[in-house]
Amino acid sequence: MGMGIDTRNRMAKRAAEEIQNGMVVNLGIGIPSLVPNHLPENLNVMFHAENGIVGMGQSPKQGEEDENLCNAGGFPVTIRPGASYCDSAVAFGMIRRGRIDLTILGALQVSEYGDLANWIVPGKKVPGMGGAMELAQKAKKVIVLMNQLDKNGQSKIVSTCTLPLTSANCVDMIITEMGVFQVNHNGLELCELFLPYTLDDMKKHTACEFRVADSIRQIEY
C-alpha cells in the first residue's frame, strides 16, 4: 500500500472539492500543500499561512522560485493578485478570531469522535505545535488529509487516540487514500470510497466502528 504521488494528488483533489468561492483556507504541511494545484481556474480563494501570507497561489515552476516567498513549511509558493503579507502575530490573530473558513491538516491519529493528534510522537524530535491547536479549535471546518495506515501498518483512525491530543472533538471530515468519512456527533460515517478500495478493505483497516452512508460515492479520478 505504498503512497504514490498519484494517490497523494487524488486525496488533495478530493479535499479541493470542499473549497468554495471566497473562502479563506489554511493548509497544513505535507499532502494538504498539494491542494492549490487542484482548484478550478475561476475559483477565488485566499490561502492563509501562519508565517504571514494571505493569498498563496500554486507551486512555482522550477527556476521561478522566490527565496523570500514560502509557506509555513518553508516550501516556495507563488501569490495571487490581491495577496497580502503580515507578521506571524497577525496571522495567528486571524485564526484565533475565527476568520479561517477551512483548514486542511495532516494527522498522526484521529478518533471516531473527531479528536485530533497531529503534533508529537513521544520521544521523537518535533519542531513544535505550530498553528495546529488554534486551527483545530477555531477554523469553521476542519478536514484531515492523511494515510489510512501508519508505517507499521496500524490504522490512524482509532476509537481513542493514544498519542497526545492537539485538540478534542474538532475534525469534521477525514480523507485517506481509501475513502472519505464525515465525523458526526455520534461517530464516523463512511460516505465515499476511492476505487479500487471496497467496504471490506475499509473495515479491515479502520480501528473503530463506523456507519455506512445509504449511498456511497465511488471516486475514480
Active-site positions read 50
Q: What residues have CB less than 8 Å from 221, skipping those under 6 apart? A: 10, 13, 14
Residue located via cell numbers 495506515: 149
Q: How far, in Å, are 5, 11, 31, 83, 116 from residue 144 at the CA level?
A: 18, 10, 10, 26, 9
47 grid coordinates? 490561502
**Which amino acid, 52?**
G
For 110-129, letters b (16+ CB in 10 Å) and e give bbbbbbbbbbbeeeeeeeee
d(CA 31, CA 28): 8
